[in-house]
Each structure stands twice: as structure tokens, then as C-alpha cells.
Structure 1
């Protein structure tokens, strides 16, 4: 036996039963066995002889169903109509009605006879039927924007009692306002089963925002959980009010790129064909809304438009800018220059917008390009110029080599740390890197070459005074310098407090003094001779003195010697 779901409701039956009679109500399910309890389901009192179930026919007359004598196991069915094969009695004396239908909605009475009393317990039976799932029928193909349009009809079938229908949009209830929303509901009964079918029609004034709205209808019934129809969406028909042109391409657009123009309109159904204005030239496309420019150049920059086929006034435009960057650098590649020469670097650029320029030398960033008006060895290196705008970058370079005849800029000496050697340092500038030759043997301690500057060191044992030469050479020429190196033995004498440089300076001073004294003596001698000659001339009177020719000749010879 199937389980029965019952709802007990107590009320006063005024029409059928005398005042004071208590009628119990039982709710059974359509198509299932209905259990009608006797004595409100309470325990039977002692002394019961038999139980009799009877009912009220449709015409109001009483009818018997069955009798159960307590002393016997079987009940006697006395019904002669449709209940004959559908009624039985349970162990607790409840009336069991199989295959419940709406004809079972009536009052059944349990008559309980005992040795001392006779009691009757009337029970009203109601039969409920869960409705079918609601379905939206006669759906509109489309809705008119801002126009009241029949949307559809919600149908809920085979229910008892009849189901209530609620229209929903996006899970929100719609309320009939008599203007923009009109709802009409009705209920019909099946003549055979007596079950009710509910239907509800909806007229709705849609807007553009309803393109994505979901409409449903809900069946609300006394059986419990509400049932909801499958959601429905409807296209909203409205004319085009706006056209928009979209440039479909990576940004920025560069020369050689493909650019797609996409035209869209807000009408529904949307237009499928458009006119494209390609820099003054009209191009019509049908059954699509795109036009592609292949391999664009800088000349393709400009204003592009699209419009409806039947309305050129309704159009949209976009500016297409094709980015470009032309760069020229002078010089490039390998550049060879002489020390002290001038190098002119020229950078020419042509770009669609302001270009950014950066320089590096040997991979190190420069704040600006150096002044190359007089090249030095430190100017040599690899120079890279990076020129860029958004999306485009060019790199150009030149490798500068500065060559020159080597020139010694310094030749110095000092004692080694242990005091047993002399260390000579010869510094020369030149490129290619100079080679060095010393006029004495020694130990080459260190050689370096940075930015055209070469440093050579030689360690020697100075056992006697030497004049040492440093000779530097490369393929372009040579240079040489000498330095005097005094023996360590001379420097270590206790009486000699001055260094070698001080001694040499003293010698120079003494030589200058001696030279000045000799010059003064020479000047004195010349002055004396001049005075002597002058005095001899004063002895002459202009008259010819008497004397022999030999004396005169001898006197002239003496005067001549004095002049010499």
C-alpha cells in the first residue's frame, strides 16, 4: 500500500451535519491510495462490535461501502458502484480508497458500534493533483521597441486545485498596470478527469534593454514548491539610431600592417551591409561589416568613414595614423681617425611623431654625444644610437678608432720598496698600442694600456751612474726620452744629503755663476783696451813730428798690435 500524505483541518460542518458535529478533513493525492482515518486516528475504545463505512452520494443520498466485524478477519464490501473494487479497510479501521480521483472529494463517515454506544465520525476528503511544469506557448518572434506586443501564453495543465500563474522578468514579478504590461488569466476543467488547466497571456512593452532580458512564468500551487518554466529571450526590433566605426588592429599601426575597419549599428535586426569611405572613395560591402586595408603605408594615414547603405547621413568616422620612422646616421661602420682630427656626426630622422634618441658607448649610456672637434684616444669605442617612437625602434652604430704617433708624456724614477732597485716609469700616448724598448736591461714589472695611454715599468739594479733611454714605437712613428739614473752607492754616502736631482741642480747653478764671471772679465778687458786706444789718439797734434821712417813704421806696428 502506498503512503498517503494527509492534512488535518478541523472545522464545523453546518450544512451537512448537525451543529456541534466535528468534521475532519483529509487531503489525498490524485491517482494514489487515499487513507480515511476513523475516530480521528485515535485508539479504538473497548467493546467495539463492528465498524461500518458509508458515504454521501452525488445526489445527496447515503450509501454503504463496507462493514467490518471486529470478531472476524474479513470485511464485507456492500458498495455496488465504482467503489466496489476500490475500497478496503486497514488494521486500524481506516478506509482505504485506491486510485484516488476527483470523484472521491466527498464526505465519508465511520460508524462505530459498541455494546453500549454508537458513534459516527464524518471525514471530508479532498484530492490534490500537482500541476504539470509551466510552458510558454505562442511565443512572439520579436518584440517591438516601445510598443505593446503579445509576448506569449503560459500554460499549466492537470492540476487540482487550479494553479496560479505569475509572470517574471529576470526573476522579478511583473504586475499588470493596464498600459505597458497587461496580463489575462483563465482556468479550464477537463470534462473527464475534472482536473484544471490554467493559462495566462502577457502583453509587454519592451525597450532596448530587454534584448538580454529573460522571461519566465511560475506555477504556484497548494502542493508545495513552485514550478518555473524554461527562460525565454526575445529579439527587440528597433531601427538604427547610431553607427560606430572601429579600427581593429594592433596599436600603434606601423607601415606594412593590415588594418581592419569594422562598422556596427545599434539597430535590431542589425544591418548586414555598409558603405565604407576610404579617403574619399566609397566602397560598398554586402553581407559583412568589415573592410581590410593590407600593407598600409604612411600615405594611408587619414580619416575613414562608414555609413548605412540607405542613409549616408548616419555615419561614423575614425582617424587612422600609420606610424613610421626613418633614420640616417653619418658615419656608420668602422671609422679611422688621427689624433687631434675632427669628426662630424650627423643624425637625420623623419618620424610620425617626436622620436626619442639615446646614445651608448661600449654598452654604457651617454648623457650626450661627446665633442669630437679634437679627437683623443679616449674617444675611441663603439657608439650605438637608438632612435624610437611607440612601437618602432632603430639602432645604428659606428666604431671609432683614433690613431696617432706615440708620444712620451712622462719618464720618471723612484726606489723600489725594498730600496735595492730603481723603478723607471715611462708613460706614452699613442695608437695602435706602442711597444717599448729600454736602453738597459732590467725586469719589466708592469704594462697597461687604457684609452690610448700606455704605461711601462722597468726595474733595474743601479750600480753606477747611467743615462737610460725609453723608446716607444708603433706603425706610425716613435718617440724617445732619456733619464739620468745615479748609482745606489753614490746616494748612500753619508755626506750626500741631497738627492740626485738636487746635485744636478747645484751643478747647473755653479756653471751659470762661472759663466757670468768669465763674461764680466771679458767685458773689463775690452773696456781697458778701448781706454788705452783712446788715450793714444790724444797724443797726436795734427802736425807731423820729426823722426826717421823706421821709427814711424815701428810706431804704426805697435798701434796695430794694440788694436788687436
Structure 2
């Protein structure tokens, strides 16, 4: 019985230990791949779940790099202490962060996060990282994570070839090289012509790639572009594009600078262009003709006139013809020769030099009778249509090659100018002229008799102009006058003119006579002489000269004012006398006679002195007038 009991106890313990062993274990979770750029920070997480209650949990981190090829520990921790191994190339750049992020409800399991941090990641940090957890009786577990490091290439460099690229080359020739340095993983290079990618073509395009891996593990990639160039490549731009990977499975790219290549090609066409003058050419112009060829380098160019054997002198494809005439008209050829390929091209241009000959007048000069009709013509040979305009004295009088004048008068006489021009070619014009003479008896211009008045001793000029043909002769006849003299007698375009001068002494009548073989015309001049006037003597005034020079109206006003002042003074004296304020040497009342006597005394006193008014009145009226009479008149008015 005791044995059974003991046996049961051992069996139960064995079963418990077996169950414990099954229940306690360690789980591990890690990322398969961590990608970072060189120089940045890498974080490699490791999560472990420990079930049960182990006394000790040991955590270790290892790395296996391509350089070492073996597992190398970089971190150790047993719960009581932790160590960063210093013998690795990570020294000073790594750290480990640990945290318990959760616990089972029963308290028999815990979750721990372990984070490995690598700063300033380098390419040689790339490799396999191992996280190992040993929980003793609970067991152990390890996981792995691959760290990928990406390095972007440096600036993409493109260099064009300096060799000649000729379209006549039968095989493709190298035109450029592209290089991308220090990149990881290995980049790829693509060539472009004007944004169009180029592909290998044995006959036209050859692309050769070369790659080099440095001791640092970085890649340098080079690519050569060989091309069978065509003429259109002279205007094309070429560049290369480098494609490389970055974290996250993405792809980036960098482009080089654009380059142009020099393409040699023979001329395929030649054109001649008239540079100057623009439009039609006339005699006397300087003509410049330029030969334009599409060959490169610029081919040798020569000019030649059709029908002539010798070459014309030109400069850099420019032919200049100075002071051209109609004889320079013709066809001009330009020959373009490429010495590298001996390909020749030719162009031509027709030059037409327009002309306008001298004007031909008919008749050159002509004489017509008054009242007759006349016709004149003017024309000139030209290579272009012309138009004709007639002028006389600067005024347009007709259009067309023929000028018709009806009923000729002396006003019709004179010079007529015809102007012939080419409307389509400004500046090309000529002129001609004819002089028309109208024959007839003289006609004096302004024939009406002239009546005038002039002062004696005045010098006078008389002018007489007459039209007529033959040229009239002008003579003068006069009655009266002195110092008579003809100062001018000349012919005018339509007749004659005479000018005489004299001094007026008395009334004068002068006659201008114009005479030729056909007749006579006369004009009269009547001049009335105005005698000189003498002024009468004037009594000298004792007052300043400026008073005497005043106008008569001013003098009369002054006289009236003075008389009014005298009247007022008399009234005042009379008033004082009546009031007894004026002592007169008498007493008592005075009779009327005495009053009158006093007035007479006052008047007499005023007469004793000649006033300015009396003198002025005398000067104005030509006779003396006593001022006392005036005073008495004004005294009567006061009464």
C-alpha cells in the first residue's frame, strides 16, 4: 500500500515536470530586411516572447558581414549586466534599447522588445544581424534580419569626343562617354538623343558598358556611345541617364549635362539671296548677293556670271556689285565645293537692273501768240511703267506725257518742268523742262492809274512793269518835279521793269509807256504835292514848359477850376463882410453903394495881378480878356 502511494507520488511529479517542460518556451519575431541610405541611421528590431518564469534570460546580438564571413558578437546581456563588444568596427556607433511592452494575464509570460541602433551607416555594415535569446529551462531562440545599405552615385559626368564626326564615315564612331562613380547597388546607364532613348543597333548605334567595383564595395559604371551620324545630328543634344536603387525598392535617376556634337557633312543645296537693296534694283545701286550653303565646315564658294568664264571677287560667300547699270543684269551662279568629300552644289539668281533714261521734251522751247493753243510732250524710256507730272513755278499744272494749254496769255509764259518717276521703284526719276514764250503787245501789270499824295521835298519811287514779247521798251514822260532820275531798267522773264525816283516839289503827272513791235501800253501816275505848314508865334508863358504842352482840353479844365476857386473865395469874403468879421476901417451899417464899392475894391485888387488863367485864355482865344470881367460875371452868378 505504501509502495503504491509512493509510486503514485513519483508518477505525478514526473507528469508535472513533463507538463511544465511543454508549457514553458521562447518565441522570436524579426524583420527579414532593413534598408537604409549610407550615412543615415539603421534600426533593427527584435521581439521575443518568454513563457514561464525563467531565473535568467540571456540576450546576444551577432553580425555576419561579407567582409568577415563569420558570426561576430556585438552585444551581450544576462539581466544583471550588459556589454557592447569593442572589438568590432561598430565601436561608438551602435546602441541597444530594451523594453518590456506586455505581460500575459497569468503572469507566467512576458514580451520584450530589443532594438539595435546603428548610426552613420556604412556600406561595410551591410550583412546579416542575429538576435539570440536563451531562457534556460524555457529554451532559446534566435532570429535574423538582413541590413541593406544603398549609396547614391556621385554627379554624372559626360564628355564628348573631339574627333571629327562625318556623315561620310561608313561605321559608327565614338561621340561621347558617360561615367557614374561610387554607387551601390550597381547602377545602369541609358543614352538619349533629344529625349529619345538609344538602343543598340550594329549599323547605327553601339553602346558599350564597363563597371568597376572599388575596394570599398562601391561601383563605378562607364558607358561609351558610338553613332553613325547623320546631318540632322548637328542640331541634336545628347545626354546620359543613370538609374540607381534607393530604400523601399524604389528607383531614382540622375541626368548628365546636354552636349552637342560637331557633324561634318557636304553641301546638299545652295541658295542665293539678294541682301541689299530690298526689292527692285535701279541703276546706281550697290547690290549684295549672299550664297548660302548647308555644308559644314563651310565649303569653298565661288561666284560666276552666266556666259562669263572668270570667277567674280567675293568675300566669305558675299558678292558686292557697286554702282550697277543695266549691263549688269543677268544670271549669277554660286558654286559650293566640299574638299573632304568632293561634293559640289550650285545655285543661281537672276538680277534685273531697272533704268529710266533722260527725259525727252518736244518742243524744247516754243513761242505762241496770245490766244493760241499749245501742246508739249515729255517722255523717257524705262524698264518699268512710269507716270508724269507737270509743274510751273512749283505748282502742279498737269499730268501725263502731254501738256495742253488753251488760249495762251502772258500768265501762261514761263518754264514748265515735267517730272517722270517710277511708282514701283522710289528714287528712280528724271526731269525735263521747256520754256514757253507768249508773243503779244505789252501789258502793264496793274494798269489802272495811280493817284497819290506826298509832302513837298519827299523822295518818291515809281515802278512800272510790263509783259510782252518781243521784250517791251519802257519810257517815262512827266510834268513837274525835280531831280528826276531812272534808277533801274531791266528785263524780266516775261517783259521789262523800270523804276524812277524824284523829289516832290509840286503836283506831278508821270506816264509809263511800254512799247514793242506789236503795240504800246501806258499807265499814269498822279501825285499831289502837300505844302509844308508854318505855326504862328505863341506868347511865352512864365509857367513851366510842361504846362504849355498840355492839350487844349486840359488847359480849359484848369481855367474852369481856377474860376470856380475865385468864385468860392469871393463868396467867403462877402460872407465875412456881412457878419462884420472883416475889418474895413468903417463902423455901423454900410449902404448898398458902399457894399458895392467894397466889391469893386476886391475886383480891382484881383485885376492888379495877371493870373495864369488870363494868360492861358489869351493863348487859347488869340486875344486878351480882362479877368475882372470874368470875375464880375461869376459874382453876378453868386448873387
In the alignment, what sits opposite 1:95?
116
- C-alpha spacing 1:234/1:292, structure 2 compared with 1 (3 Å): same
Distance 1:194 1:308 in 2: 58
Structure 2: unaligned runs, 5 residues or longer: 1-26, 48-53, 100-113, 451-512, 523-639
Deviations for 1:141-198, whole angstroms, at most 9, x for unmatched residues? 23332744133332222111122211111112123344322333343211x1111122
- C-alpha spacing 1:434/1:234, structure 2 compared with 1 (3 Å): same
Is the 8 Å Cα contact of residues 379 and 420 (structure 2) preserved in structure 1?
Answer: no
Out of 37, 49, 62, the position equivalent to 2:71 is 62
In the alignment, what sits opposite 1:210?
233
SS at 1:82 equivalent? coil
Is the 8 Å Cα contact of residues 363 and 377 (structure 2) preserved in structure 1?
Answer: no
Is the 8 Å Cα contact of residues 405 and 477 (structure 1) preserved in structure 2?
Answer: no
SS at 1:107 equivalent? strand
- C-alpha spacing 1:157/1:80, structure 2 compared with 1 (3 Å): same
1:108 pairs with 2:135: no
In the alignment, what sits opposite 1:372?
405
SS at 1:175 equivalent? coil
The alpha carbon displacement at 1:66 in A equals 2.9
Out of 23, 26, 43, the position equivalent to 2:34 is 26
Is the 8 Å Cα contact of residues 389 and 396 (structure 2) preserved in structure 1?
Answer: no
In the alignment, what sits opposite 1:141?
163
Deviations for 1:362-392, whole angstroms, at most 9, x for unmatched residues? 6568564552365357867976534125143
1:299 pairs with 2:306: no
**1:2-41 correspondence runs (5 A):** 22-30=30-38, 32-39=39-46
In the alignment, what sits opposite 2:316?
288
In the alignment, what sits opposite 1:315?
346
Is the 8 Å Cα contact of residues 88 and 95 (structure 1) preserved in structure 2?
Answer: yes
- C-alpha spacing 1:360/1:335, structure 2 compared with 1 (3 Å): same
Distance 2:444 2:307 in 1: 61
**1:218-233 correspondence runs (5 A):** 218-223=241-246, 225-233=252-260
SS at 2:319 equivalent? strand
1:244 pairs with 2:265: no
The alpha carbon displacement at 1:275 in A equals 5.3
Distance 1:338 1:51 in 2: 144
1:435 pairs with 2:456: no
- C-alpha spacing 1:87/1:374, structure 2 compared with 1 (3 Å): same
The alpha carbon displacement at 1:110 in A equals 4.8
Distance 1:144 1:229 in 2: 25
Please, what is the CA RMSD of the aligned residues? 4.7
Out of 169, 176, 189, the position equivalent to 2:193 is 169
Structure-1-length-normalised TM-score: 0.57
The alpha carbon displacement at 1:216 in A equals 0.9
SS at 2:35 equivalent? strand
- C-alpha spacing 1:79/1:436, structure 2 compared with 1 (3 Å): same
Deviations for 1:55-89, whole angstroms, at most 9, x for unmatched residues? 224465432213579999xx732141322344334
> More deviation in 324-333 or 216-225?
324-333
- C-alpha spacing 1:168/1:20, structure 2 compared with 1 (3 Å): farther
- Tell me how many residue pairs correspond in the alignment: 398
In the alignment, what sits opposite 1:393?
428
- C-alpha spacing 1:51/1:304, structure 2 compared with 1 (3 Å): same
The alpha carbon displacement at 1:256 in A equals 3.0
Deviations for 1:369-419, whole angstroms, at most 9, x for unmatched residues? 55236535786797653412514332637698886879xxxxxxxxxxxxx
The alpha carbon displacement at 1:296 in A equals 2.2
The alpha carbon displacement at 1:250 in A equals 1.0
**1:109-128 correspondence runs (5 A):** 109-110=130-131, 122-128=144-150
Deviations for 1:282-335, whole angstroms, at most 9, x for unmatched residues? 237698333332332222222222324688974332222222222325389999
The alpha carbon displacement at 1:243 in A equals 3.6
In the alignment, what sits opposite 2:180?
156
The alpha carbon displacement at 1:94 in A equals 4.3
Is the 8 Å Cα contact of residues 210 and 236 (structure 1) preserved in structure 2?
Answer: yes
1:189 pairs with 2:213: yes
Structure 1: unaligned runs, 5 residues or longer: 1-18, 41-46, 407-429, 439-472, 480-564
SS at 2:31 equivalent? strand
Distance 2:347 2:229 in 1: 27
- C-alpha spacing 1:318/1:138, structure 2 compared with 1 (3 Å): closer
Deviations for 1:408-436, whole angstroms, at most 9, x for unmatched residues? xxxxxxxxxxxxxxxxxxxxxx9775534
In the alignment, what sits opposite 1:84?
91
Is the 8 Å Cα contact of residues 363 and 376 (structure 2) preserved in structure 1?
Answer: no
- C-alpha spacing 1:61/1:315, structure 2 compared with 1 (3 Å): closer
Structure-2-length-normalised TM-score: 0.51
The alpha carbon displacement at 1:225 in A equals 4.5
- C-alpha spacing 1:244/1:399, structure 2 compared with 1 (3 Å): closer
Out of 354, 363, 380, the position equivalent to 1:349 is 380
Is the 8 Å Cα contact of residues 258 and 293 (structure 1) preserved in structure 2?
Answer: yes
